[in-house]
Amino acid sequence: MGMSWRLVLPIVLILAFLVTVPIWGGRYPTYLTIQIMLLVVFALGFNLLLGYTGLLSFGQAGFFAVGAYVSALILLQVPSLLLGIVGGVLAAGLVALVLGYLSVRLTEIYFSMLTLSFGMMIYSLVWRWRAVTGGDDGLTGVPRAPLDLLVVSIDLSDVMNYYYFVLAVTVAAVFLMYRITKSPLGLTFQAIRDSATRAAFVGIPVRRYRLYAFVIAGLYAGLAGAMLAPLERTVTPIYSHWIYSAEPILATLIGGIYVFAGPIVGAVLFIGIKEIIVRLTEHWMIWMGGIVIVLVLGFRGGVVGTILGWLDKDQETARAEEEKPEAPGAKRQPEAGE
Amino acid sequence: MNPILEATNLSKTFAGMRAVNDVHIELYTDRVTGIIGPNGAGKTTLVHLLTGHVQPDQGQIHFEGRDITRLSADQRVMGQVCRTFQVVDIFPRLTVFENIQIARITREAKNLRWFGGAAKEAREAVEAALEEVGMWGFRNRRAEQLSHGQQRRIDLAVTLATDPKLCFLDEPTSGVSPKERDQMLELIARLAEAKRTTFVLIEHDMEVIFNLCAHVICMHRGAILAEGTPDDIRANKEIKEIYLGEEV
Ligand SMILES: Nc1ncnc2c1ncn2[C@@H]1O[C@H](COP(=O)(O)OP(=O)(O)OP(=O)(O)O)[C@@H](O)[C@H]1O
Ligand SMILES: [Mg+2]
């Protein structure tokens, strides 16, 4: 069973669009698209936790910051992009492993509060540990080092070139996450989300799998952070602030938590809307908050979830035809309103 | 013949109230055991203790001769002790098919496969399980869209898909229509007949218990008041009294 053209066609169009952005778009749209892609990676990781495993983390900025700082520190020492990114990702994964081990003992709001506290701890650590992090000045002069691939060395110092690196990594990260969500591992996460008790009573060690989801989310946050450092060339404590944790949360809520594409579309909308309103008003956060509330209340299940729901209605009707009750008593229930 | 499960001195106190009080229980593979008792007698709590959902304050549990007292619920399931809950507990957003499939994937220890699609895993076993409970036609529905009676059947099918040697059913027919109830009981009788699984049935309906069970345990205030064949239980004056005293 291959992918249907209904899936392939939009993907091809989107990729074609993305590949040509630096050609027709100019510097700022290119930069903005990189920002969107970073948020896509960040939010996809976050939603593996929320939408797929049922865990709301308020501390993801902590892992983003670990990725950003470690990649910056490496790049300031060794001018190898690959080393910087991989180092940042692994560091974030390691921190997520340790903090996740402690966090997944709790669930629901207690889990959320604990992740918030850990995020705040990382924030103050970044502030205080001047010798390493540069305190409130942050780390400056991070080089956009060349990408060394065996024999070739690709110069990425121009944002237009760096764009293609981020695009390639993002496409790979999205594809990988898609595979995870469709795999037995992804189904295991979803089972835990739906009922942790039932999951235990089919034999799933729930905590361990929550930890796996937490680490994957941490790796994705770290990847987004690690790619940000060479883009901005400076890393400051703001990236570890809990307000920054809200970005993937809002993007995901806008797009929809129960659909794979939710965080992707949500990231585009979030940055798009933000970009427009910061030009119109100083108090962009208030407006952003208002817009998010309208979107979340107006599109239950997110923008993508709602639109898919509309498209699905026809198929539902067709499917109902095909289902004939097998046992005489097994009448189909009337459709619950969605 | 050795019991498949034996528990000794099991006790559990909730906020000063002894929900299960020094219980000794033996379960054998050659018979269906019924557990009866008035509301609040401690039946569900006893099953919680035996399946690892709740840790006992004291006592030991041996399954097939092995001490499982300290094992977690999921470890016991992998060791082939499973159960249903008094209130339906399935995966509401997963499809009916996926509900069974996740049980099979876990049984086959494939949860860590992270790249290949889940859809093709364990198809035949899931198909068989769905046909068994008459839910094949509903395989693509989300479980939350089913009627309560259908959800009960899926609940049972999920539990059976873990390949339990020993399986506790906590009031599997509560809240379903009379017709669905009969179907469910017929299904349980058929499964018990197949003898792949040893069933322990908690029920309020005496007729059901006397029809399905060869051995009946009656609990009252956390303790085992009496046990024996259905005839023993029927003849027991004390049991009649507690049922007349607290409910009919
Ligand atoms: N988690 C808990 N916390 C506090 N008390 C509890 C808890 N679980 C059970 N109990 C109490 O323990 C006693 C036994 O409850 P249990 O659910 O085991 O009874 P039961 O025999 O299954 O009753 P029913 O027929 O109503 O299902 C009850 O008094 C109940 O209120
Ligand atoms: Mg009960």
A205 touches chain B (CB under 8 A): yes
Amino acid at B233: I
Can you tell me the distance from the alpha carbon of A112 to that of A110, in angstroms, rounded to the nearest whole number?
5
Can you tell me the distance from the alpha carbon of B220 to that of B40, in angstroms, rounded to the nearest whole number?
8
Complex prediction ipTM: 0.94
What residue spans define the domains of chain A?
A: 13-240
Neighbours of ion ligand 2 (CB under 5 A): B 44, 86
What pLDDT score does A336 carry?
39
Instruction: Name which of B107, B114, B136 is nearest A180 (Cβ-Cβ).
Output: B114
Can you tell me the distance from the alpha carbon of A204 to that of A100, in angstroms, rounded to the nearest whole number?
18
3 state DSSP class of A245: helix
DSSP assignments along A259-292, one per residue: STTHHHHHHHHHHHHHHHHHHH-S-HHHHHHHHH
**Per-residue pLDDT in tens (0 to 9) along chain A, 338 residues:** 455 777 889 899 999 999 999 999 889 999 999 999 999 999 999 999 999 999 999 999 999 999 999 999 999 999 899 999 999 999 999 999 999 999 999 888 999 999 999 989 999 998 889 888 888 888 888 888 888 887 888 888 888 899 999 999 999 999 999 999 999 999 999 999 999 999 999 999 999 999 999 999 999 999 999 999 999 999 998 888 888 888 999 999 999 999 999 999 999 999 999 999 988 888 888 888 888 888 888 888 888 888 888 887 766 655 555 544 444 333 334 433 33
B185-200: pLDDT as tens digits: 999 999 999 888 999 9
Higher pLDDT among residues B32 and B118, named by residue: B32
3 state DSSP class of B237: helix
Write down the architecture of domain B1-80+164-248 according to CATH: 3-Layer(aba) Sandwich (3.40)
Give yes or no for a contact between A31 and A158, defined as CB atoms under 8 angstroms apart: no
Q: How many residues does chain A have?
A: 338
What residue spans define the domains of chain B?
A: 1-80+164-248, 89-161
Q: Do A187 and B92 touch (CB under 8 A)?
A: no
A209 touches chain B (CB under 8 A): yes
What pLDDT score does A260 carry?
94
Strands A152-154 and A147-149: antiparallel
Instruction: Name which of B53, B111, B113 is nearest A204 (Cβ-Cβ).
Output: B111
Exposed/middle/buried for A223, CB within 10 Å: 0-12, 13-18, 19+?
buried
Which H or E element spans position A295? Answer: helix A284-298
CA distance B126 to chain A (A): 14
User: Which residues of chain B are within 8 Å of residue A315 when distances are taken between CB atoms?
Assistant: none
What pLDDT score does A316 carry?
62
Strands B5-14 and B58-63: antiparallel
Can you tell me the distance from the alpha carbon of B156 to that of B90, in angstroms, rounded to the nearest whole number?
9
Give yes or no for a contact between A266 and A302, defined as CB atoms under 8 angstroms apart: yes
